[in-house]
């Protein structure tokens, strides 16, 4: 009662900020907190019920105090829940920007988990999956207005137009302005940075400096 | 007006528009990355820059395939330049988006207030992004937990109860500024510090104290560095 579960939740959120991956959604914890808020709200209305609409805090300080504590707890719980969801949502947005497909990743994990039993459940809540889907749509729409600039491109200042890359995984054939190149594993190329930026981000190529 | 100002004016006119735009864009980019608040959207500058980027891309596309070493070399220079421009624009836009994501409600109200002014705070597409992102987040919160809350606690922009839910950037953050024109005495609010700002000076000072002289938000007498 009174914010104990919410405390755990914010600690959880704090931890998420420094983790490289997203831990499973704390559905039990947030359910507990929601229940707590509803209980508190019911408390408040049952305390207030006998007074009707004419409650005077200065006439009855002890009741007023109880009400205040309940109210503050509800607000605190709400803040904690908001913070937790915001942290997770920001993390998911960052994945969208980096071009990591969170949903895909989770699906492929499920495929592997099929052999080892059902221990690998999605680390996203259904609502979060929906959010990711909609956010990537939004991002794509916004990016579409800046096709010339490629918003998700590298945020490092460009130095050279052409770079050396080594192919880590077969990536098939790509089209460049200077003709097409077939990227086979372990080969090395001298290519235009802009053409292969995406492939480097996806881990197909490695940049040699 | 003394001889320095006259010289400065002549100098500005002799610099081609393209170069001045590049300087202006670089300045906007630095300022946007340093200032704690989001700065007004430089719509004319961005239109010109984007238009030029588009033309250069077309030029490059037209001339590739030409195996003449001379044009080839020229193309490489153009493309390098193009990449740099694209980086500036990209980094600039991302810095703005980052601020929009951090303080959405605050920026939204500022933007609404700035609509009648000459330069709105956000570009049209940025505003669209802000509103749709906010509605996405709100929907996400309400399906995740807020929907099951008592009705009085469901708002996201509640300012009652002592704590405002609308987060604001820290306007008292210290910034580095270079003074472009003499400003005179400046008093920092909340402290008893007073000092004189002269052209060419570099200061570390609270953003809120110098905001009304900065480029973009004020008279343009000093720039952020």
Q: Are strands B184-187 and A188-192 parallel, antiparallel or unpaired?
A: unpaired
pLDDT of residue A197: 78
What is the C-alpha separation between A37 and A76, in angstroms, rounded?
10
Token representation of residue A167: 């192919």
Measured between alpha carbons, how far is B199 from B4 in angstroms, rounded to an integer?
A: 12
Count of alpha carbons within 13 angstroms of residue A43, beta-carbon side: 18
- Residue B168 CB neighbour total at 10 angstroms: 13
- pLDDT tens digits for range B156-207: 777 665 667 777 888 888 888 888 888 878 777 777 778 888 888 888 888 8
Residues A93 and A182 in one domain: no
Q: Is B113 on the interface with A (CB under 8 A)?
A: no
Report chain A's terminal Cα–Cα distance, integer Å.
Answer: 57
How many structural domains is chain B composed of? Answer: 2
Beta pairing partners, B186:
B195
Domain range for B176:
170-225
Q: Chain A within 8 Å of B73 (Cβ-Cβ)? A: no
Which residues is B184 bridged to in the sheet?
B197
A-B contacts (CB, under 8 Å): 105
* pLDDT tens, chain A, 209 aa long: 677 888 888 888 888 888 888 888 888 888 888 888 888 888 888 888 777 767 777 778 888 888 888 888 888 888 888 888 888 888 888 888 877 776 666 554 444 433 333 344 567 888 888 888 888 888 888 888 877 777 777 777 777 778 888 888 887 787 776 677 788 888 888 888 777 777 887 778 888 87
B138 and B178 share a domain? no
Q: What is the sign of the dihedral through the CA atoms of B53, B54, B58 and B61?
A: positive
A75, closest residue in chain B (CA to CA)? B153
- What CATH number does residue A9 fall under? 1.20.58.1030
B132–A contact, CB cutoff 8 A: yes
Nearest by CB to residue A85, choosing from B83, B141, B148, is: B141
Q: Which of B25, B52, B96 is nearest to A148 (CA)?
A: B52
Is the pLDDT at B113 greater than 80, yes or no? yes
Nearest-CA distance from A115 to chain B in Å? 31
Interface with chain B: mutation pick from A35, A148, A190, highest number of B CBs within 10 Å: A148
pLDDT of residue B3: 63
* Whether residue A19 is found in the same domain as residue A109: yes
Neighbours of B100 (CB within 10 A): 22
- Find, in chain A, the residue whose alpha carbon is nearest to that of B164: A79
Does residue A153 sit within a domain? no
pLDDT value, residue A107: 52
**Shared domain check, A168 and A125:** no
The answer to whether the CB atoms of A153 and B93 lie below 8 A apart is no
Mean pLDDT of B99-103: 88
The pLDDT of residue B162? 63
At B19, is the pLDDT very low, low, confident or very high (cuts 50, 70, 90)? confident
Quick check: B149 and B159 in contact, CB under 8 A? Answer: no
* Apex B88 CA angle, B82 and B94, nearest 5: 130
Q: Do B141 and A78 touch (CB under 8 A)?
A: no
Interface test with A, best of B33, B67, B83 (most A CBs within 10 A): B83
Q: Report the pLDDT value the prediction gives residue A113, as an integer from 0 to 100.
A: 38
Closest CA to A41 of B153, B143, B142: B153
Examine the domain organization and report whether A136 and A167 are in the same domain.
no
Q: What is the distance between the alpha carbons of residues A201 and B216, in angstroms, rounded to a whole number?
A: 35
3-state secondary structure of A67: helix
* Number of domain units in chain A: 2
CB of B164 within 8 Å of a chain A CB? The answer is no
Whole-angstrom distance, CA of residue A65 vs CA of residue A57: 8
Query: Measured between CB atoms, does B125 come within 8 Å of chain A?
Result: yes
Same domain, residue pair B135 and B204:
no
Q: Report the Cα B153 to chain-centroid distance in Å.
A: 35
What is the ipTM for the molecules in this complex?
0.76
Contacts of A52 (CB under 8 A, 6+ apart): none
Closest alpha carbon to B152 in A75, A65, A39? A75
Q: How far is A154 from chain B (nearest CA, A)?
A: 8
The nearest CA of chain A is from the CA of B83 a distance in Å of: 7
Tokens standing for residue B96? 């703005």
> In this predicted structure, what is the pLDDT of residue B84?
86
* In contact, B198 and B181? CB cutoff 8 Å: no
Which of B145, B168, B191 is at the close of a domain? Answer: B168
Q: Which residue of A has its CA nearest to B64?
A: A177
- Domain co-membership, A115 together with A76: yes
Beta bridge pairs of residue A205: A167
H helices present in chain A, as ranges: 4-18, 27-48, 61-98, 102-113, 126-144, 193-201
Closest chain B CA to residue A130: B140
Angle in degrees, CA A87, A93, A96, rounded to 5: 150
Q: Does B122 share its domain with B164? A: yes
Q: Are B44 and B116 within one domain?
A: yes
| B50 interfacial to chain A (CB closer than 8 Å) | yes
Kindly report the CATH number assigned to the domain that includes residue B197.
Answer: 3.40.5.60
Which residue range(s) make up the domain with A78?
4-140
**B38-49: pLDDT as tens digits:** 888 888 888 888
The nearest CA of chain A is from the CA of B84 a distance in Å of 6
- The C-alpha angle with vertex B101 and arms to A17 and B34, in degrees rounded to 5, equals 90
Q: Are the C-beta atoms of residues B8 and B199 closer than 8 Å to each other?
A: no
Contacts of A79 in chain B (CB under 8 A): 163
- Note whether A167 and A207 are within 8 A (CB): no
Instruction: Compare CB distances from A89 to B128, B137, B153 and report the shortest one's residue.
Output: B137
Report CA torsion sign: A55, A59, A65, A66.
negative
Instruction: Centre a 10 Å sphere on the Cβ of residue B120 and count the other Cβ atoms it contains.
Output: 19
Whether B13 shows a pLDDT value over 80: the answer reads no
Tell me what the mean pLDDT of segment B19-27 comes to: 86
Q: Are residues B96 and B185 in the same domain?
A: no
Structure tokens at A188: 């090395």
Taking an 8 Å cut-off on Cβ atoms, the answer to whether A127 and B132 are in contact is: no
pLDDT tens sequence across B60-83: 888 776 677 777 788 888 888 888
- Distance (Å, rounded) from C-alpha B210 to C-alpha A129? 44
B217, pLDDT greater than 70: yes
Distance of alpha carbon B151 from its chain centroid, rounded? 38
């Amino acid at each position: 009662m009174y914010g104990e579960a919410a405390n755990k939740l914010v600690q959880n959120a704090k931890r998420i900020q420094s983790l490289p991956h997203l831990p499973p959604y704390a559905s039990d914890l947030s359910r507990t907190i929601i229940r707590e808020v509803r209980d508190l709200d019911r408390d408040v209305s049952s305390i207030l019920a006998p007074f009707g609409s004419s409650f005077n805090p200065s006439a009855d300080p002890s009741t007023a105090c109880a009400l205040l504590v309940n109210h503050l707890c509800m607000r605190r719980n709400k803040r904690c829940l908001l913070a937790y969801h915001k942290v997770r949502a920001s993390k998911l947005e960052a994945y969208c920007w980096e071009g990591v497909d969170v949903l895909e990743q989770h699906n492929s994990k499920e495929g592997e988990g099929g052999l080892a039993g059902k221990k690998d459940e999605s680390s996203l809540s259904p609502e979060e999956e929906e959010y990711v889907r909609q956010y990537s749509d939004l991002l794509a729409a916004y990016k579409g207005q800046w096709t010339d600039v490629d918003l998700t491109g590298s945020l490092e200042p460009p130095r050279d137009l052409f770079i050396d890359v080594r192919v880590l995984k077969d990536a098939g054939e790509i089209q460049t302005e200077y003709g097409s190149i077939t990227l086979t594993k372990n080969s090395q190329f001298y290519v235009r940075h802009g053409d292969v930026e995406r492939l480097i981000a996806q881990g197909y190529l490695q940049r040699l400096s | 007006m003394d001889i320095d100002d006259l010289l400065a004016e002549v100098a500005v006119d002799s610099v081609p528009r393209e170069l001045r735009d590049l300087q202006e864009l670089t300045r906007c980019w630095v300022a946007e990355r340093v200032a704690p608040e989001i700065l007004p959207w430089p719509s004319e500058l961005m239109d010109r820059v984007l238009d030029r980027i588009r033309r250069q891309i077309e030029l490059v596309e037209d001339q590739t395939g030409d195996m003449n070493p001379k044009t080839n070399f020229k193309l490489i220079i153009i493309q390098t330049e193009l990449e740099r421009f694209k980086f500036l624009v990209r980094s600039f836009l991302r810095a703005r988006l980052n601020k929009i994501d951090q303080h959405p409600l605050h920026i939204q109200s500022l933007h609404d207030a700035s609509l009648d002014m000459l330069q709105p705070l956000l570009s049209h597409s940025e505003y669209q992004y802000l509103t749709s992102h906010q509605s996405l987040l709100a929907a996400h919160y309400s399906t995740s937990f807020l929907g099951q809350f008592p009705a009085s606690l469901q708002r996201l922009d509640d300012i009652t109860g002592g704590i405002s839910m609308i987060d604001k950037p820290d306007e008292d953050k210290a910034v580095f500024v270079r003074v472009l024109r003499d400003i005179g005495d400046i008093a920092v609010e909340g402290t008893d510090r007073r000092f004189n700002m002269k052209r060419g000076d570099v200061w570390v000072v609270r953003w809120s104290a110098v905001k009304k002289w900065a480029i973009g938000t004020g008279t343009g007498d000093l720039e952020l560095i």
